[in-house]
Amino acid sequence: MGLLSSLLLFTQGLWPVQAADRLEVEIDGVVLPITVEELGHWVRSGGRSRSELNTWLMLLDADSRAGLIRLLKAPVLTRRSFGQQMLRSWAARPLLDALGDLIRVEGAKGERSQEVVTTLERLLTKQASVSTLDLLEALPNERLRLDLDALVLAASRWRHQMQRHQVLTAQLASSTATAQSTSAELTSERDVSMRSMRLAADHRPEGVRVQIWSPPPERSGSTSSWVVLMPGLGGDPEHFHWLARALASQGWPVVVIGHPGSDAAAVQALLDGRSPFVGAKALRQRLADLKSVLGAHRSDQLAIDAEEVVLVGHSLGALTALLAAGAEPVNGLEERCQLALKDLPLTNLSQLLQCELAAGEVLTPLPPSTSLKAVVGLNSFGSLIWPSTQFGSLQTPLLLMGGTFDLITPPLSEQLALLGALGNHPASRAVIVEGASHFSPVRVEGQAGNGRGDDLFQLGENLVGIQPLAVQRQLAGELIQFLREVELGESMGMSQHLHAGSIRWHRLNRDDAKRLVKDSQ
């Protein structure tokens, strides 16, 4: 939120040269002119200063006053280069539009200047971090307006977004769960082998890097399908060795794709300020990477005997899989983006990326492969792209997995709604794990030991959620069971609520997923 706070201060005008000395605070329909110095004194005194501002702010309850102080004191920026990349990215525009009603800068009309970035850079030469208040005091502008009425309205909308997810969590938690343990067979990974190779590709001079995981000899040829596994944004093939190894141990050959430009190295370059991230370019490259892998299989370069393919992806990799399955975006995406971004989707950050991809005009599905067996999405998203059941339903079996602790691709808005929109096949289902997050499927080196590794994704429990290794075992078990049922032509049947030790998860059919979404409205 600190970084987002800096975006509150952009407008469509040029920045006057004189420093700001006047602030208008709008509360309960009344505009109160004060000085920026007075606001600073009020914040630094913890709201105890004697002033006209304090008198008006006493109209807010104690929690609201404390929240405002936290907002103004929050670090806007602690890493200058990442802030520059963020402010110059596509995502800055909808954030500015959504937050512009809260703090407004008045001045001459014209093109938006980069004065805010200049001010941040200047402040960071003198201090390690910059707060919203620091920026207010340093910005050169004649007049600023802080609209607390708009802030209260925005908070109400965000609270409603969060309450919808709390309703889902409560409903799932109230269900009676049946005990189910992962069998020893599913955890056996002996004799699995892995080899790496690069596939020639016109769009990548260095080729497409893939890792090919082969089943043990006694299971070779035991399945009719093979698996393509695609990491999410910032993900590397190494993050999903655990899943590739589990699938290969049960007979499925697995090809894991590396995606330069949207892998861990690309995210590190973004954080270091060496390179921006462009979502449209990343998705275009990923679709081309997948086409290269499928083409290499047809030309027998991969030396995989199975014919039918299962597309598995995490996050952005899952979106790539859905487009590769031929899912056509529903008309009216631009209008849906305008509506979604109006209220700033802090409880569903994937909507920002969906709208960036829509603006980049890259949401074009591939011609569906006749050899496509199934599609699996880990922490998938696409609720704005496929919002209804009228168009784009897949005839291919679809498995969507997520966690109740995920606010990047929340299960209610994404996996469950997406299953209702696309999961037309009777074997389709959603699996929701209580307490799991967007990053639960990511395993870094050393995680099996102390939970840390020499990796960009040294994620703690606050991001990963509960017991990631136990969650990964259940995700692998659910995926393997789904693939076995698809092989046998079995339908989903009744929804089930399950637990293994302290891990609870829910296997939901399409009808129950749609009901849960409807109940949360």
Compute the residue count for the chain: 521
127 pLDDT band, cuts 50/70/90, is confident
Asked if the model's pLDDT at residue 345 lies above 90, the reply is no
114 pLDDT band, cuts 50/70/90, is low
Q: What is the CATH number of domain 220-519?
A: 3.40.50.1820
Lowest mean pLDDT among 83-92, 232-241, 449-458: 449-458
CB 503 within 8 A of CB 432: no
pLDDT the model gives residue 16: 32
Which of the 8 DSSP states describes residue 17? S
In DSSP terms, 439 is beta-bridged to none
- Higher per-residue pLDDT: 43 or 229: 229
Q: Which token pair is 92?
A: 């800055």
- Higher per-residue pLDDT: 447 or 39: 39
DSSP assignment of 36-62, as one string? HHHHHHHHHTTS---SHHHHHHTTS-H
Asked if the model's pLDDT at residue 13 lies above 70, the reply is no
- Higher per-residue pLDDT: 59 or 340: 340
Asked if the model's pLDDT at residue 5 lies above 50, the reply is no
CA angle 395, 398, 400 (to 5 degrees): 150
316 pLDDT band, cuts 50/70/90, is very high
CB 76 within 8 A of CB 131: yes
Q: H or E segment at 294?
A: helix 279-298
Which residue stretches of 174-206 are H helix? 184-187
In DSSP terms, 208 is beta-bridged to 199
pLDDT the model gives residue 21: 52
Residue 325 CA to its chain's centroid (Å):
21
Q: How far is CA 477 from CA 187, 415, 472, 480, 504, in A?
A: 9, 18, 8, 5, 13
pLDDT the model gives residue 145: 66
Q: How far is CA 119 from CA 99, 123, 204, in A?
A: 19, 6, 39
Q: What is the pLDDT of residues 257-267, one digit of tens each?
A: 999 998 888 87
Lowest mean pLDDT among 98-112, 340-354, 441-455: 98-112
pLDDT the model gives residue 451: 40
CB 403 within 8 A of CB 369: no
Q: Where are the domains of the chain?
A: 2-158, 220-519
CB 147 within 8 A of CB 104: yes
User: Cα dihedral angle (360, 9, 100, 22), rounded to 10 degrees?
Assistant: -160
pLDDT the model gives residue 113: 42
Which of the 8 DSSP states describes residue 240? G
How confident is the prediction for the chain on average, in pLDDT?
81
Lowest mean pLDDT among 10-14, 145-149, 328-332: 10-14
Strand residue runs (E) in 1-107: 23-27, 30-34, 75-77, 103-106
Q: How far is CA 347 from CA 157, 164, 167, 392, in A?
A: 11, 10, 14, 26
| Dihedral class, residue 30 (left if φ above 0, else alpha if ψ from -120 to 50, else beta) | beta
Mean pLDDT across 409-433? 94
Mean pLDDT across 479-486? 96
Q: What is the pLDDT of residues 455-475, one digit of tens each?
A: 445 556 666 777 888 999 999
Q: What is the pLDDT of residues 154-176, one digit of tens each?
A: 777 777 777 887 888 888 888 88
Q: What is the pLDDT of residues 362-418, one digit of tens each?
A: 999 988 778 999 999 999 999 999 997 555 578 899 999 999 989 889 999 999 999
- Percent of the chain at pLDDT > 70 equals 75
417 vs 509: CA distance, rounded Å: 12
Helix (H, G, I), strand (E, B) or coil at 497: strand
Strand residue runs (E) in 260-413: 308-314, 372-378, 398-403
Nearest residue to 228 via CA among 307, 300, 303, 321: 321
Which residue stretches of 145-263 are H helix? 148-173, 184-187, 241-249
β-strand pairing of 103-106 with 143-147? antiparallel
Residues in CB range of 464: below 8 A, 6 or more apart: 437, 439, 440, 442
pLDDT the model gives residue 314: 98
Asked if the model's pLDDT at residue 50 lies above 90, the reply is no
- Higher per-residue pLDDT: 423 or 20: 423
At residue 477, φ and ψ (nearest 5 deg) are -65, -40
155 vs 267: CA distance, rounded Å: 30
pLDDT the model gives residue 464: 74
pLDDT the model gives residue 459: 59
pLDDT the model gives residue 153: 72
Lowest mean pLDDT among 20-34, 310-324, 369-383: 20-34
CA angle 222, 228, 234 (to 5 degrees): 145
Q: How far is CA 115 from CA 13, 16, 17, 36, 443, in A?
A: 11, 10, 10, 18, 41
Asked if the model's pLDDT at residue 125 lies above 90, the reply is no
262 vs 397: CA distance, rounded Å: 28
